[in-house]
Amino acid sequence: MTNSTSRPRFATSFGVIATTVGSAVGLGNIWRFPYETGSNGGAAFLILYIIFVLAIGVPLICAEFIMGRSSRLNIFGAFRTLAPARGRTWAAVGCLGILAAVLILSFYAVVAGWTFEYLAESLTGHLNDFSGPGRHTAFDSFTAGPRCLFWTLIVLAANAAVLLGGVRKGIERVSNILMPILFVLLIALSVNSLFLPGASVGLSFLFRPDFSALTPAAVLSAMGQAFFSLSLGVGTMMIYASYFSSRTPLIRSALTTAALDTLVAILASIMIFPAVFSFGASPEAGPKLVFEVLPDIFAGMPAGSVAAAAFFLLLVLASITSTISMSEIVVAFLIEQWGLRRIPAVAIHTAICALLASLCALSFGPLAHVKIAGFTFFNLFDFATSNILMPIGGCLISIFVGWFIDRSVINTQLAPAPAALIRIITLTLRYIAPAAIAIIFIAGLV
Ligand code: PHE
């Protein structure tokens, strides 16, 4: 086991924000958020989502931060050492998080692979093949073919390369540079979308709520999306907090992460929805929504191919800053609990994910007919992690910090925040978050 003195730390406070925001911001914001919003009625989903981020997301980020920084361990080790009794039982929750992280990476790598394909197509001037009336066929035949699997494996290889670089040189350095550039580009693209013909239809879909259309399943999806986008319930924020300096203000960092993450999701939606309606696509297209609409956006823009290349490059990189964060959960577990070195830990994790990710990549082609409970592998991993494993993990983390961790530990970790704020967070973790998660979870699944 690695002890806390030899453990790496993020070097700067900018690095802390860049890495946590780097984990949070990724395909979850730019790919998943628009397709979930589109499939669940638009504005009402967006409003619910924001409520979940504030009411459950922020306190839960704090809970993971508290566990990570006070134990300076991975999710498994954190539960085991912080639990006053029954450490082994609680550590099982850690195993759940590790399993979820592996499953998330397995489908996430496929979508990141689509982004690599679009980057390659933009660089070679062929992105237009994916736009216009032929867009469905072009996308479907790409995802059904061998290139989809190829890019998925490339993503896992790139992910492994950064992980081998370790915490400061790999994770922190990459995040510092990328996140600010992505932000600027997104603002430019969303402003561009506002000028598309018929943009207002997309904007009213996004901002004019119709709550009558909300089903319990949509409410569960909004909560699941909040967990997914904030990387919650599996131990990502926990492992990153274990690399924070003891001076990093936790509540402020949690708020900044949640605010920037939500801003990116909203910007991405402003970029996508006017275009969806302007180009006559369906907001309910599901996981392929963004990939079918983006090429048209770029095709209609001045210097569109340069913008497309820049955008997909950043999206590739933003997804890598997220894949490394979900992988670090597993890698840190293998290093700290099993005593492995970093290289074999990264190798084992990558090999397992390569196997599972191949199943997901082939879900659009040769394995499309293989269904478990009506889902393809890809859809199953996507649904089961966001709507089941992450909420369960989040609920248990909330209960654990709210009820089982010493108040003095919480107060020290959350200092120097005002006492009233600390109290609100503690109360939320004790009562509100577990109850809300449990009710929405059960209602949504039934
Ligand atoms: N939050 C990331 C995104 O929005 C995905 C993620 C989920 C990362 C879980 C880590 C853990 O893309």
Q: Which domain holds residue 441?
A: 4-445
pLDDT at 167: 63
346 to 146, 173, 233, 334: CA distances (angstroms): 25, 19, 22, 9
φ and ψ of 372, to 5 deg: -115, 120
Q: What is the DSSP letter of 246?
A: T
- Contact between residue 318 and residue 25 where contact means Cβ atoms under 8 Å apart: yes
Atom 11, ligand 1: residue with shortest CA distance:
231
Tell me the C-alpha distance between 31 and 91, whole Å.
33
pLDDT at 301: 80
Tell me the C-alpha distance between 413 and 401, whole Å.
12
Of 1, 11, 167, which is closest to residue 76 (Cα–Cα)? 1
- Structural domains counted in the chain: 1
pLDDT at 1: 43
Task: Tell me how crowded residue 202 is: count the other CB atoms within 10 A of its CB.
Answer: 24
Q: Is the pTM higher than 0.75?
A: yes
pLDDT at 175: 67
Tell me the C-alpha distance between 75 and 394, whole Å.
12
Here the tokens at position 235 are 């131990």
Here the tokens at position 118 are 């679009």
What's the CA-to-centroid distance between 23 and ligand 1, angstroms? 6
What's the CA-to-centroid distance between 420 and ligand 1, angstroms? 30
Specify the CATH number for the domain of residue 152: 1.10.4160.10
**Which residues are registered as beta bridge partners of 375?**
372
23, 321, 329, 382: which to mutate for ligand 1, most atoms within 8 A of CB?
Answer: 23
What's the distance, CA 161 to chain centroid? 20
pLDDT in tens, the chain (446 residues): 444 446 778 777 777 888 898 899 999 999 999 999 999 999 999 999 999 999 999 999 999 999 999 999 999 999 999 998 887 899 999 999 999 999 999 999 999 999 999 999 999 999 999 988 888 889 999 999 999 999 999 999 999 998 988 666 666 676 667 778 888 889 999 999 999 999 999 999 999 999 987 899 999 999 999 999 999 999 999 999 998 999 999 999 999 999 999 999 999 999 999 999 998 889 999 999 999 999 998 898 888 888 889 889 888 988 988 999 999 999 999 999 999 999 999 999 999 999 999 999 999 999 999 999 999 999 999 999 999 999 999 999 999 999 999 999 999 999 999 999 999 999 999 999 999 999 999 988 88
226 Cβ inside 6 Å of ligand 1: no
> End-to-end alpha-carbon separation of the chain, Å?
42
Amino acid at 3: N
